[in-house]
Amino acid sequence: MNAHQTLPADEAVPAYNYAYLDEQTKRMIRRALLKAVAVPGYQVPFGSREMPLARGWGTGGIQVTAAIIGPADTLKVIDQGADDTTNAVSIRRFFEKTAQARTTEATEAATIIQTRHRIPEAPLTAGQIMVYQVPQPEPLRKLEPREAETRKMHAWAEYGLMQVKLYENIARFGEVTTTYDYPVMINGRYIMAPSPIPKFDNPKMHMSPALQLFGAGREKRIYALPPHTSVRSLDFEDHPFRIQSWKEPCALCAATDSYLDEVVIDDQGSRMFVCSDSHHCETRRAEGHRGTMLGDATANGLVDPSSSTVIPGDRRETRDPFRNPAGQGSGMDPGSPLRSARDDDAKVETGADS
Amino acid sequence: MTTETLIGPGFSDPVFQSQGAFRALLAALAEPGTRHVLPGAIIPPEGLQAATATALLTLADYETPIWLPPTLRDGAAGAWLRFHCGAALVSDPAQAAFAVIDGTAPEPALAAFDAGSDQFPDRSTTLIVQCAALKGGEAVTLTGPGIATTRVIAPSGLRPGFWAEVAANNEAYPLGIDLLLSHADAVLGLPRSTRIVEFA
């Protein structure tokens, strides 16, 4: 019928449909996406498919991306803000392989950004689409395990239980102790789980010019935020919502306005704080911003001194060892102690996702 | 066999034409009131605008019953949709996942279509309203998700009282139908979340 349905000459290459999913599945996901956009914050059930990776590794986000991606798109994939962690690398390669996708690490060059647990520091622009990987789409699930009940609570906007939970937090600890997946009210109607992004990122969702799509593969739900939609983090008048802050700037690029990961750097208890958004940090270093520990990190080989010449958006600049086997990429050495420390730190905090 | 009964072709390249059309539909509903051209360049059957036919080809299949006005249902358009989408054509508007009406037709009322249920508002009808043009009509001011402040649209060729019906549809939010106004190869989205601030 058409070119991409003819079998490739090489019999060893599987004859996937473009972007892996069959057209019937894409139509079903696309219908769910349109309804999700029409009712912002409402979780639309969808027929989540088996993907060639385990549920909990981003199958929801992958299915959403596969349903929307086309030849005109440029894809960026991040995991905890970093382009070079396992999950991000394997998902990026999945779409390079199945959809011949053009990929980038530059936030501003991407048309689709699939993310696990962060929103990039660079402001999103109109026309961009964020795709979130969501482990637990139901914000009320920990308070009410029965789906039949949470569905009624959403239907009738009975959200008192969530306010009580936040109140009990304040009563016991003096503040709301939720630091990620902080519940938000969408368009004044639905309470929504923003996926396990740090609450630092919640304000970036409010009235964002980008379209935001959420896919939960294991839980079989899709939901969405159109651009310019009100996103209010739940709080109380006398305990207003606050985001995290740090006493020190990023040790590599001296940023004071980005989300920092704490990294243990030896067995003596020393630690450093670095930007979780790897592209943001590299861009700042290329602009000449220098953190207090950049010199040490360069001397120890943790940061390539050539990273000061990174051109944002340059495809050749990558830390993906499969795409850059010579190892002359920028940023951190994939096998460095710094990298593994950062991974451990991040994974323990937020658990598995879908 | 006469030419009237021949079913015309659908997409020549289903994967990429439907992907392109879907992205235009997604943008149309994400930014209500903005005009989006559906690429695809198909020759629609008689009675359907090109954008209407492309949208249905992109989204409809055996899982989604379609409601068409009786004259279209029994004509070339019905045969074309049955063949290319494999969709059932239903006679009760309330059973339809997708529906097409002419902007000037007095029937059926927007309230006749499925508005979803309080626990499953996603099960509502998506209604494609075929207009005479997407501009040049009476000005209507919109606000809501997807619109930074307000947006003014002026589609023409709509029946009297149409905007009052759209406003009533939004009153029931999160229930309600989602509208796509189509003309030639372009659409304009009006999801149920969009509020009509001002109309004549």
Per 3-state DSSP, chain A is made up of helix, strand and coil in percentages (nearest 5) of: 30, 15, 55
**Region A290-307: what's the mean pLDDT?**
76
Cβ within 8 Å, pair B122-A152: no
Show the domains of chain B with their CATH numbers.
12-191 (3.40.50.11310)
Which among A61, A275, A291, A331 is annotated as catalytic? A275
Residue of A nearest to B13 (CA): A2
The pLDDT score that the predictor gives to residue A300 is 74
A38 → closest Cβ in B31, B61, B178: B178
ipTM over 0.85 threshold:
yes
Residues with Cβ within 8 Å of B109's Cβ and at least 6 positions away in sequence, in order, are B165
Per-residue pLDDT for A309 more than 50?
no
Check if the beta carbon of residue B180 is closer than 8 Å to that of residue B103: no
pLDDT digit string (tens) for A30-86?
A: 999 999 999 999 999 999 999 999 998 999 999 999 999 999 999 999 999 999 999
Q: For tokens 């045969």, what's the residue?
A: B79
Which among A60, A61, A217, A253 is annotated as catalytic? A253
Interface test with A, best of B29, B170, B171, B195 (most A CBs within 10 A): B29
Q: Strand pairing of A184-186 and A190-192?
A: antiparallel
Per-residue pLDDT for A308 more than 50?
no
Residue A139 DSSP symbol: T
**Rounded distance between C-alpha atoms, residue A293 and residue A71, angstroms:** 41
Interface test with B, best of A6, A22, A34, A131 (most B CBs within 10 A): A34
Q: Chain B contacts of A187, Cβ < 8 Å?
A: 144-145, 193
Type of residue at B29: L
Cβ within 8 Å, pair B19-A152: no
The pLDDT score that the predictor gives to residue B118 is 96
The verdict on whether A250 is a catalytic residue reads: yes
The helix/strand/coil state of A76 is strand
**Region A141-168: what's the mean pLDDT?**
96
pLDDT digit string (tens) for A165-204?
A: 999 999 999 999 999 999 999 999 999 999 999 999 999 9
* Angle of CA points B158, B161, B164, to nearest 5°: 115
DSSP chain B: --GGGPPPP--SSHHHHHHHHHHHHHHHHHSTT-EEE-TT---PPTTS-HHHHHHHHHH--TTS-EE--HHHHTSHHHHHHHHHH-PPEES-GGG-SEEEEETT---S-GGGS----SS-GGGSPEEEEE-SBSSSS--EEEESTT-SS-EEE--BS--TTHHHHHHHHHHTTTSS-EEEEEETTEEEEE-TT-EEEE--
Residues with Cβ within 8 Å of A107's Cβ and at least 6 positions away in sequence, in order, are A76, A113, A120, A121, A122, A124, A279, A280
The verdict on whether A281 is a catalytic residue reads: yes
Q: How far apart are the CA of B119 and the nearest CA of chain A, in angstroms?
A: 5
Interface test with A, best of B54, B119, B150, B193 (most A CBs within 10 A): B193
The helix/strand/coil state of A185 is strand
Check if the beta carbon of residue A187 is closer than 8 Å to that of residue B194: no
Residues with Cβ within 8 Å of B151's Cβ and at least 6 positions away in sequence, in order, are B32, B33, B34, B141, B142, B143
Cβ within 8 Å, pair B18-A26: yes
pLDDT digit string (tens) for A192-247?
A: 999 999 999 999 999 999 999 999 999 999 999 999 999 999 999 999 999 999 99
Per-residue pLDDT for A332 more than 90?
no
**Rounded distance between C-alpha atoms, residue A71 and residue A109, angstroms:** 15
The pLDDT score that the predictor gives to residue A5 is 52
The pLDDT score that the predictor gives to residue B129 is 98
Domain ranges of chain A: 3-137+193-230, 260-348
Topology of the domain comprising A3-137+193-230: Rossmann fold (3.40.50)
Interface test with B, best of A2, A4, A6, A37 (most B CBs within 10 A): A37
Q: What rounded mean pLDDT belongs to chain A?
A: 85
Cβ within 8 Å, pair A230-B174: no
pLDDT digit string (tens) for A249-286?
A: 999 999 999 999 999 988 998 999 999 999 999 999 99
Q: Chain B contacts of A18, Cβ < 8 Å?
A: 15-16, 19
Alpha helices (H) in A111-197, listed in sequence order: 147-155, 160-173
Q: Chain B contacts of A224, Cβ < 8 Å?
A: 30
Residues with Cβ within 8 Å of A191's Cβ and at least 6 positions away in sequence, in order, are A41, A139, A140, A154, A159, A162, A183, A184, A185, A234
Q: How far apart are the CA of B96 and the nearest CA of chain A, in angstroms?
A: 14
Per-residue pLDDT for A16 more than 90?
no
User: Measured over all CA atoms, what is the biggest interatomic distance in chain A, rounded to whole angstroms?
Assistant: 68
Q: How far apart are the CA of B102 and the nearest CA of chain A, in angstroms?
A: 22
B119 → closest Cβ in A30, A151, A190: A151
Check if the beta carbon of residue A338 is closer than 8 Å to that of residue A319: no
Taking the whole predicted model, whether its pTM rises above 0.90 is answered as: no
**Rounded distance between C-alpha atoms, residue B31 and residue A251, angstroms:** 40
A38 → closest Cβ in B22, B60, B192: B192
B26 → closest Cβ in A2, A68, A152: A68
Residue of B nearest to A35 (CA): B122
Per-residue pLDDT of chain B (200 residues; tens, 9 = 90+): 455 568 999 999 999 999 999 999 999 999 999 999 999 779 999 999 999 999 999 999 999 999 999 999 999 999 999 999 999 999 999 999 999 999 999 989 999 999 999 999 999 999 999 999 999 999 999 999 999 999 999 999 999 999 999 999 999 999 999 999 999 999 999 999 999 997 76
Type of residue at B129: V
Residue of A nearest to B178 (CA): A38
Q: Chain B contacts of A68, Cβ < 8 Å?
A: 19, 22-23, 26
Helix (H) or strand (E) holding A342: helix A337-350
The pLDDT score that the predictor gives to residue A304 is 67
Local confidence band at A348 (pLDDT 50, 70, 90 cut-offs): very low
Cβ within 8 Å, pair B121-A39: yes
Among A90-99, A322-331, A345-354, the range with the most confident prediction by mean pLDDT is A90-99
Which among A58, A60, A250, A329 is annotated as catalytic? A250
Local confidence band at A296 (pLDDT 50, 70, 90 cut-offs): confident
Q: How far apart are the CA of A39 and the nearest CA of chain B, in angstroms?
A: 6
The pLDDT score that the predictor gives to residue A336 is 35
Q: How far apart are the CA of B19 and the nearest CA of chain A, in angstroms?
A: 6
Cβ within 8 Å, pair B14-A42: no
The verdict on whether A41 is a catalytic residue reads: yes
CA-to-CA separations, B20 to A336, B38, B58, in angstroms, rounded: 42, 7, 9
